[in-house]
Structure 1
Amino acid sequence: MRKRGYLTLGAVVLCGALLAGCGSSSSSDGVSSDSGKVAAPAAGGAEPALGEGQAADSTAQGGKDTTAEAPDLRVDQRSIIYTGTITVQVKDVNAAAARITGITSGAGGFIGGDDRQSGAGGADTATMKLRIPATKFDAALKQIGELGEEQSRAINTEDVTEEVVDLDARIAVQQARVDSGRRLLGQAKSLNDLVMLEKEVATRESDLASLQAKKRRLADLTALSTVTVVLLGPTAAPPAPADEPSGFLAGLSSGWNALGDSLTVLLTVLGALLPWLIALGLPAAAVFYLRRRYRRGHPDKELPAPPAEAPATP
């Protein structure tokens, strides 16, 4: 009985110890799970704050880049090429041309071309090409039109703002490439590297010079407008507008003109060769004729002699 009591007491103590161990492990698991739940919101709260800061930085950087790269596209800042043609009938072509020269000089421009032709009975004409600052373009045309009776006027504009902006960007990039190549050239340590870098830098500088030349050309065309002035005397007829046919008539006209041009070239060649044909052909024909006549009058002389017979052998 005592042994059974001891066994029962030992079993009770063992079960109590096992239950206590399970309770402690479960409590520790609960504490760890609770701590995980508490740490998660903190981590979650830190991430939104960091995300907002990054978004703010990216927004600020994006706004800065956009402001730096965006070109000024206002009307007064655009690059526009102005070209115009005006025809005026005046009493004295030379006097009007002199006044146009004064108008151009007063506007800060210059005469790019002056072609004058004299005609009988007041049929003089003059064609002048003017380069006038774009800001004085309209005022100069108005003054030229008031010199006489204006016959016609045509004004064309070409907006090259996008080309200018593109050229500026390409020049900036190419300039950076040239500077980088020059720095590498200064750091070259071998002859092969030096030769290769010199060739690369020369190529980059050539491309940069080409882009800069295009930029200067556009700058010249936008800064100075081109005006073509046609001056007509009192009796000079205005130039007729070109009326070019199209379709079948255009093809027929082109073919006929080509045929006429070909015949003209052929006749020109024959005319150049005819004196040589006469100088050389007539003596050659006379020699040929006399030779044939001589052969007919002396047929025996033309026959070959018969071969000699060989002597008979004994």
Structure 2
Amino acid sequence: MLLSGALLAGCGADGASDNSTSSGADKAAAPAVGGAADQGEAQAGATTEGKDTPAGAPDLSVDQRSIIYTGSITIQVKDVNAAAAQATGIAAGTGGFIGGDDRQSGGDGTDTATLKLRIPAAKFSSALEQIAKLGSEKNRAINTEDVTEQVVDLDARIAVQQARVDSGRKLLGQAKSLNDLVMLEKEVATRESDLASLQAKKRRLADLTALSTVTVVLLGPDAPTPVDNNDPPGFLGGLSNGWHALVDSLAILLTVLGALLPWILALGLPTWAVLHLRRRYLRTRPELPPAQTPTTP
């Protein structure tokens, strides 16, 4: 009996230890499974959130912007015609062309020429440096204008207007009466005209951004150099402009007085002499007694 009780007690202890081991393993496995599920849900949520988040406006870099380059340069050369031919060749070598040619022959080394060159924007700086080496550079000016916002706005407006034209044409094909047909034709014509105007503006901007404009002024060896009259900004600029305006006004006033002075001497002196003599005569003339009125009886 004692031996049987000891055997039963040992079996019970083994069963309890097995149960405790199994429950511990189950508890350890449960968090692992839950953690994996939570990680998968987190990844799925992150993927879904990434898909649903709207993309922001693209940040345009410098090379993607639409910029209009314009420049002017004045050069004093030995031979104006030869320098003009070289400047035209430089423009043609960059893939551009000449947009205007105005030459004036003054003789004795005072010839001048004004060339308007259209040069691709990518080669604007290099072409300007080549032109500057044709002679002695006197002045240079470069201006830039960023029209990226205008281009983006025109693209959006053109897309909207194209959609309006397409819808109008679709309705025009479905017209069932003459009045509807006439009305729709007029509306479609108006929309097409607006679309053509927007497209013309887009082509104009594309031309200005693709081809830069360079104004080249060539001066002969004895031609006078143009003076730069750029006034300083702010108070000094206003003071300078006011002084120049005062000097110009005084010059005009003196010119008018110089033109009127002969007339004043020719007409004013005789008139003054006549008035002076008359006043003197009136002072020296004896005064007449006052007339007496007859008395009635």
Measure the CA separation in 1 of the matches of 2:84 and 2:205. Answer: 29
CA offsets, 1:120-162, max 9 Å, x none? 3211111100000001101110110011111111111100000
In structure 2, the residue matched to 1:234 is 221
1:208 corresponding residue in structure 2: 195
Q: 1:253 to 1:194 in 2, by over 3 A?
A: farther
Deviation, 1:72, is 6.0
List per-residue Cα deviations over 1:171-197 (Å, max 9, x = no partner): 000000000100011011111111111
| TM-score for the superposition, normalised by structure 2 | 0.62
The aligned counterpart of 2:209 is 222
Judging changes above 3 Å, is the alpha-carbon distance between structure 1 residues 193 and 72 closer, same or farther for their aligned structure 2 residues? farther
**Residues 174 and 229 of structure 1: CA distance in aligned 2, closer, same or farther (over 3 Å):** same
> Is the 1:71–1:165 Cα contact (8 Å) retained in structure 2?
no
Paired residue for 1:180?
Answer: 167
Normalized against structure 1, the TM-score is what? 0.59
**How far apart are the structure 2 equivalents of 1:132 and 1:230?**
16
In structure 1, how many angstroms separate the alpha carbons of the residues matched to 2:250 and 2:166? 58
What is the Cα-based RMSD across aligned positions, in Å? 3.1
Q: Does 1:118 align with 2:113?
A: no
Task: Report sequence identity in percent.
Answer: 73
Q: Which amino acid aligns with 2:123?
A: K
Mapped to 2, the partners of 1:192 and 1:256 lie a distance apart of 71
Matches for 1:118-267 after TM superposition, within 5 Å: 118-242=105-229, 246-247=241-242, 250=245, 253=248
Deviations 1:228-269 (A, max 9, x none): 0011111111112246863475388479879x89xxxxxxxx
Aligned partners of 2:181, 2:250: CA distance in 1, in Å? 61
Give the Cα–Cα distance (whole angstroms) in 2 for the partners of residues 182 and 255 of structure 1.
Answer: 68
Q: CA separation in 2, counterparts of 1:114 and 1:195?
A: 50
Relative to structure 1, is the Cα distance of residues 71 and 190 closer, same or farther in structure 2, using a 3 angstrom cutoff?
A: farther
Distance in 2, Cα, partners of 1:62 & 1:205: 37
Q: Distance in 1 between matches of 2:90 and 2:251?
A: 47
1:100-134 alpha-carbon deviations (Å, 9 max, x no partner):
11111111111111111112321111110000000
Report the Cα distance in structure 2 between the residues aligned to 1:203 and 1:252, rounded to whole angstroms. 56
Unaligned runs of 5+ in 1: 1-48, 262-314
Count of paired positions: 206
1:218 to 1:195, Cα distance in 2 relative to 1, 3 A: same
1-side partners of 2:249 and 2:190: how far apart?
46
